[in-house]
Structure 1
């Protein structure tokens, strides 16, 4: 199923992003059905979307851990 994030989506900087300039800036938009992730420095480059159940294993893998 295709999921579309509307332009009015309320993006927020992820708590997983570092602070200050030059750090990895990831923005998150979450809804009950999906969690979307994009690069704040290049928001038009694309969006990854996850079900809430798939998001935690994704974060664990990115952090170098193993999915649960």
Structure 2
């Protein structure tokens, strides 16, 4: 999958040092990509926008 045009963003909660964070690219058609911010060249997970929305909703329930 070509993610060369992905615009990655890091959580605003990551702080100035970065820490243990993920980056998300949601500007791609029909996918949301997720990667480890410390390993930008490493593996990437991809989700449909609907699956990503369900994930976020479930995480929010736990906070």
- TM-score > 0.5 by shorter chain: yes
SS in 1 for 2:24: strand
Residue of 19, 35, 48 corresponding to 1:23:
19
Paired residue secondary structure (1:9): coil
Q: Which runs of 5+ in 2 are unaligned?
A: none
Greater length-normalized contact order (CA 8 Å, ≥ 6 residues apart): 2
1:1-68 to 2 correspondences below 5 Å: 4-15=1-12, 17-21=13-17, 23-30=19-26, 31-61=28-58, 65=62
Gaps of 5+ in 1: none
CA RMSD across the alignment: 2.3
SS in 2 for 1:56: helix
**Stretches of 4+ moved more than 4 A in 1?**
60-64
TM-score where L is the length of structure 1: 0.64
